[in-house]
């Protein structure tokens, strides 16, 4: 990421952890779906891989959507963001359902951070509805629906990236 500001440098952000359990993540995805239920119906869901796969599965189950596509984008190597690479775009069948601009399609990702991924997704499908579970301030304007905002200098630790481990007591 081209962010030289020490407050939001990868190290600073990794230093302010926000761990999310499976239980919490499931609850947040359900809360997101309640909001999306008021916006739809949607023809199909597009999960932004890989982080969007888990929320997309939960949202699809709750909304009864069975057509699920992926847009495969990679950029972060742990906490540093490099150039975005679209490894796979929208499939022709799903692009057709969205009339070429994404109308009636629901894009799901786990979070927006700098907004770089969201901007790319919006270029691909300008009329789609873009939903994320979490949003940081820089990326928030790109998202149509999200559940929880965290500060820009926070690093969210998702349950699929973490494991339970011993923590020393606060007072040694
Ligand atoms: O708003 P941005 O600064 O672009 O960051 C948000 C994106 O970064 C993460 O994906 P990543 O590229 O790390 O790939 P992954 O989903 O495979 O973990 C996350 O899942 C979002 O897609
Ligand atoms: O805060 C985050 N957590 C996990 N992955 C991420 N990718 C961009 N920002 C984050
Ligand atoms: Mg991702």
| Buried/exposed 113-141: b ≥16 CB within 10 Å, e otherwise | bbbbbbebbbebbeebbbbbbbbbebbee
Residue 49 placed within a domain: yes
Residue 164 placed within a domain: no
Domains of the chain: total: 1
- Closest ligand to C-alpha of residue 19 is 2
Q: How far apart are CA 103 and CA 71, in angstroms?
A: 16
Residue 172 placed within a domain: no
Ligand 2 centre distance from Cα of residue 156 (Å): 6
Residue 11 placed within a domain: no
Q: Domain containing 141: what range?
A: 17-155
Ligand 2 centre distance from Cα of residue 138 (Å): 13
Residue 165 placed within a domain: no
Residue 24 placed within a domain: yes
- Cβ of residue 113 lying under 6 Å from some atom of ligand 2: yes
Residue 168 placed within a domain: no
Q: pLDDT tens, position by position, for the chain (172 residues)? A: 334 344 455 555 566 899 999 999 999 999 999 999 999 899 999 999 999 999 999 999 999 999 999 999 988 776 667 788 899 999 999 999 999 999 999 999 999 999 999 999 999 999 999 999 999 999 999 999 999 999 999 999 999 999 998 989 989 8
Tell which one of 54, 55, 117 to mutate to probe ligand 1, the residue whose CB is within 8 A of the most ligand atoms: 117
Tell which one of 48, 51, 141, 158 to mutate to probe ligand 1, the residue whose CB is within 8 A of the most ligand atoms: 51
| This prediction's pTM | 0.90
Residue 171 placed within a domain: no
- Cβ of residue 76 lying under 6 Å from some atom of ligand 2: yes
Q: ipTM beyond 0.90?
A: yes
DSSP at 122: H
> 38: domain CATH number?
3.40.50.2020
């Amino acid at each position: 990421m081209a962010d030289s500001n020490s407050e939001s440098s990868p190290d600073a952000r990794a230093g302010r952890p926000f761990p999310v359990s499976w239980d919490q993540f499931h609850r947040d995805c359900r809360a997101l779906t309640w909001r999306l239920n008021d916006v739809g119906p949607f023809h199909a869901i597009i999960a932004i891989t890989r982080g969007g796969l888990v929320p997309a599965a939960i949202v699809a189950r709750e909304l009864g959507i069975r057509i699920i596509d992926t847009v495969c984008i990679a950029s972060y190597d742990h906490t540093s963001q490099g150039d975005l690479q679209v490894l796979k775009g929208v499939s022709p069948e799903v692009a057709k359902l969205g009339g070429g601009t994404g109308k009636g399609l629901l894009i799901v990702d786990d979070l927006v951070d700098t907004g770089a991924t969201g901007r790319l997704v919006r270029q691909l499908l300008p009329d789609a509805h873009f939903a994320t579970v979490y949003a940081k301030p820089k990326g928030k304007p790109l998202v149509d629906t999200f559940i929880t905002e965290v500060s820009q200098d926070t690093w969210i630790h998702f349950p699929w990236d973490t494991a339970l481990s011993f923590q020393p007591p606060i007072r040694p």
